[in-house]
Amino acid sequence: MSELLYGSTRGTGGKVTASQAILKGLADDGGLFVPEEIPALPMSMRELASLSYQETALAVMRQFLTDFTEEELRACIDGAYDDKFDTAEIAPLREADGAYYLELFHGPTIAFKDMALSILPHLMVTAANKNQIKNEIVILTATSGDTGKAALAGFADVPGTKIIVFYPKDGVSPIQKKQMVTQRGANTFVVGIHGNFDDAQSSVKAMFGDGRLKAELDAHGCQFSSANSINIGRLVPQVVYYVYAYGRLLGRGAIADGEEINVTVPTGNFGNILAAYYAKLMGVPIGKLVCASNENRVLFDFFRTGAYDRNREFILTSSPSMDILISSNLERLVYRIAGNDADRDAAFMRSLSETGRYELTAAMREGLADFAGGFASERETAAEIRAVYERTGYVLDTHTAVASFVGRKYRETTKDDRKMVIASTASPYKFTRSVMEAIGGQYDGMEDFALADKLAELSGVPVPAAVEEIRTAEVLHRTVCEISEMETVVKSFLGV
């Protein structure tokens, strides 16, 4: 197999191997690493349909991570997708209400981020050894709720690493916050900020691009890497579950070999739906990719008008992991539809930074034909949770409900009757208050763990271990800072 190299969407810095791209996280010019080409699937969908999740992961990841040996990848995969997940299927498909929900929340933190962040630490440690890295790897990340806990769980006490997570202090659910601030591990550090996710993400990106800070860290024997979805080591494992989902549908006879399916993804930072697009480019028969937004509808407007404009009110919703106005992974799509023109991509990103907007050319808009956009209001999200529960007994979390509503509206509007896979990105137990209030009832006097018990009674699904273990866990992380103080806080933790 020939080696697949990676370059920046903004064009400078030359080509790097997959392991080098994983270690760096973000390119030196601020761009995102993309493969020189999207590799084809190594076997037919019929052959893939017979594979386990772990075998599917190996088949897909070998195509992208070509400087890892098969033995190295097997070790990473086996270390990631084991009994940390509460089902041997890892990512089961649940048929309900006329769609197939791809349940991506069976990992240790009950959100889809586990699918990639369970393997990223293994990939990163392997990559560090492969590249003779002597520095300590410092994972610096911003989270809108789920990435933070999944990254903390993955990297806690991993030798040769530290992890620092910034989250919006008032912009995550109580369960999400409790999961993060109770995280054990001598190498973990969790910080709330006075601001929103975009503020945190912009500051983290600025630290990555600061040459002075990079030199200071190097002098102290450490270097930054990222666990955000901008890291190609996050994106590649996400491609796997879309390949696996098609294989499962084919294997159970729900579709014919080669029959196209549609995929709807609740979308914030654009990584999860981009992974589905990469799966389509690899050869998975996917028709339309439906991008589902909440009331922060910047992506809906982008697909409708061709203009990306973050100059709008930031809205806190019941689906906080999607409360994002700067969708970083969209840059990878923009680069591709620009004909892999790094100069044009860089100009768009400069415009976004300086003016808050950019607009595609008419020719580039034609490159968006694989996508459709939709959004759900808070009222529509709650109504979807209630309606699906009343019709089927199946309980959706708030993010999956956004996708469920948008996917259903897409089918009704377009009459597109292809089978629909909906990415179910979190357990309803992460958002118990919003879910229970949507189903019906007043719970003002009840705390979230009591609500979790109520949800268990109502759904027949036991309270997950991820929730049980934090009921009485001690709060270990109490640091809160202003956006302007983030670099100082990082340097203090690292002793720089």
Q: What span, in angstroms and rounded, lies between the C-alpha atoms of 335 and 331?
A: 6
Residue 201's nearest CA partner among 25, 345, 355 is: 25
Q: Is 288 a catalytic residue?
A: no
> 75 and 43 in contact (C-beta within 8 Å)?
no
* Angle (nearest 5°) at CA 161 between 88 and 75: 35
DSSP 349-398: HHHHHHHSEEE--HHHHHTTTTEEEEE--HHHHHHHHHHHHHHHS----H
CB within 8 Å of 197: residues ≥ 6 apart:
142, 143, 144, 167, 168, 171, 323, 324
**Residue 253, Cβ density class (10 Å: 0-12 exposed, 13-18 middle, ≥19 buried):** exposed
Q: What span, in angstroms and rounded, lies between the C-alpha atoms of 297 and 301?
A: 6
* Three-state DSSP state, 265: strand
Residue 267 tokens read as 């979308």
The one catalytic residue among 15, 84, 113, 130 = 113
Q: What kind and span of H or E run contains 40?
A: none
Q: Which amino acid is at 364?
A: M
Give how far Cα 289 sits from Cα of 13, 210, 307, Å. 32, 36, 19
> 195 and 166 in contact (C-beta within 8 Å)?
no
Residue 394's nearest CA partner among 175, 98, 109 is: 98
Q: What span, in angstroms and rounded, lies between the C-alpha atoms of 100 and 6?
A: 34
Q: What span, in angstroms and rounded, lies between the C-alpha atoms of 295 and 319?
A: 9
The set of catalytic residues is: 113
